[in-house]
Structure 1
Amino acid sequence: MFQPTYPIRTARLVLRPVTVDDLDDVYAFQRRPDVVRWMLGAEPRTREQSLASVLAMAGEDAWHAEGDCLTVAAVTDAGVIGLVELVWRSQLDRTAELGFVFHPDHGGRGLATEAATALLAWGFTEFGLHRVYGRCHARNAASARMIARLGMRQEARHVESYLFRGEWADRLVFAILAHEWRAATGTSQGGTRR
């Protein structure tokens, strides 16, 4: 089992595993059409659907095997303002995929970038990832900007590569390698757990 030492503290946030007590905060953004607009197959959630989501995420506090998702709640004095996840995509290639969702009321202050940066730091320095990538709908400009702020370069634009709400959509793919991460952050060689 591989997991961060919780809580992960940043300048303005505490990152920790999701708990059932987070339901009200998570439901506050999962029910919003503007939040789920770019999420594949997602519609605004009912409270019951958010409860099921929170219960599932509460079990995502560590990696046990390839394919596992590690999800952390980004917490301020206002409560849970967003979620960041790393999905372990390949043990052999030491690759993970980054995902995130934040309440729009807390946007524009760099909090999502701060949270994602902290989780990436764990992945590269503690777990020993080689590459992390992020994907988004080509029209999701806010997510593309946020991913770029993390130092990821755009590697591809997959034209009409998936069905999104009944229409073919383009997907942008961004990535960063461990040595690029270390150079950008001034971090030394990471761990080699896997």
Structure 2
Amino acid sequence: MPLPPFPIKTRRLVLRPYAAEDADQLYRAQSREDVTQYLYWGPRTREEAEVALADRMTRTALTVEGDRVILAVDLADTGELLGEVHLAWISEEHRTVEIGYIFHPDYAGYGYATEAAAQLVRIAFDDLDMHRVIARLDADNAASTRLLERLGMRKEAHFVRNEFVRGRWADEAVFAMLDSEWPSARVAEPFVRGLPGHA
């Protein structure tokens, strides 16, 4: 499927493929428990982060069903790596993709994750002609739930204790949006805290 050319720019962000020079910043994020708290994997060692980076550097196209694109998200003004966004091709027949995101907690509260995720939804519907966008998350992840609600996605399912993740039974929530709902979805303007040197 034809993705927009990289890098993809939003009002404050740059979405781009990962590069070898991201190793230090990726490790600093992925080695933290508060970053990986709701993920399938826990804090990574330097070696594990380097393996993850090598894999991410190959995730730049949606060629066949099952492919996943993973893009680094930089702050446009400074080039700081804030996090990443994911776009996975779930079904060709049903024109469905899944979005995901991981952001460093030091940048929480500025609306960056909402801004980046909204760009993925736009790409899915406007560029890729998808019928349906979904997101799956640990139901305890309140911040991620609020983000999906800001995007205009609706909660469609709540599966109770359906996955055993890192030593505990976790509930899973599923959010979705249809192409017919996208033009009317109103992405809330993110609450932006003051950052030094930023409006």
Whether the TM-score (by the shorter chain) exceeds 0.5 is: yes
Distance 1:182 1:71 in 2: 25
Identity %: 43
Which residue of the partner structure matches residue 110 of structure 2?
109
* Counterpart code for 1:43: G
Distance 2:69 2:133 in 1: 14
Distance 1:82 1:121 in 2: 19
* CA distances 1:129-163 after superposition (whole Å, capped 9, x unpaired): 11111111111111111111111100010112111
Distance 1:51 1:2 in 2: 28
The Cα shift of 1:90 comes to 0.1
Preserved CA contact (<8 Å) 2:2 2:127: no
Distance 1:105 1:169 in 2: 25
Which residue of the partner structure matches residue 30 of structure 1?
30
- Call closer, same or farther: CA 1:78–1:8 in 2, change over 3 Å: closer
Runs of at least 5 residues in structure 2 that lack an aligned partner in the other structure: 188-199
The Cα shift of 1:78 comes to 4.6
Which residue of the partner structure matches residue 74 of structure 2?
75
* Counterpart code for 2:84: L
Distance 2:95 2:186 in 1: 20
Runs of at least 5 residues in structure 1 that lack an aligned partner in the other structure: 187-194
Which residues of 2 match residues 1-194 of structure 1 at below 5 A? Answer: 1-40=1-40, 42-76=41-75, 77-184=78-185
Preserved CA contact (<8 Å) 1:123 1:129: yes
Distance 1:167 1:185 in 2: 36
State the aligned residue count.
185
Distance 2:59 2:186 in 1: 27
* CA distances 1:38-57 after superposition (whole Å, capped 9, x unpaired): 101x1111111111111101
Calculate the TM-score normalised by the size of structure 1. Answer: 0.91
